[in-house]
Structure 1
């Protein structure tokens, strides 16, 4: 008897400590492969782009869905804080490249709650 070939194990990616929510129904993956387990409704409520995407798909998608984004984990970590009921991040100590990425993401995803503070920090 020959052993059956087994499939390679699924790659395991690091998961955000802050956004590893047990009741999540969507996983975002950063450009550097960090996973963020979040709630689709939070994204839809705080981002016009995510809301429009939900409207265009017409219905629920798989709870195991992974959406790959072009932003780094540092940027997503900050961006998502504006989409949850929690203290907003203190951006005074954020490195320039991360701040620039956050400002671009806020505009790209139309996260209105973060636009004003990003505009001020970018000055």
Structure 2
């Protein structure tokens, strides 16, 4: 890749750079780390398809999760940019969750993973 200016002492990385086995493994580890957690995938599958759910609706959809754990997992997904939290300024407070566009784009990857699993000999 050509440098943008002769004074630039590094080669900028672009999305077109080819992964090495090591960098690919690290990137996938990072992605899996973002999805790591007992309830994160269950939360994601409940939000796929553009669903907008309140905290209480997620609690009802996942009856075995505690409020504390649901809040913690949602905060982590929000921090990672996968889920968006919408707070309405009213009493009582109303909070809704939905997937970001980036979070929704995870659906085909998880579908491919399910197909890969089903193809196991």
Q: TM-score normalised to the size of structure 2?
A: 0.32
Find the structure with the greater CA-based Rg.
2
| Structure ranking higher in helix proportion | 2
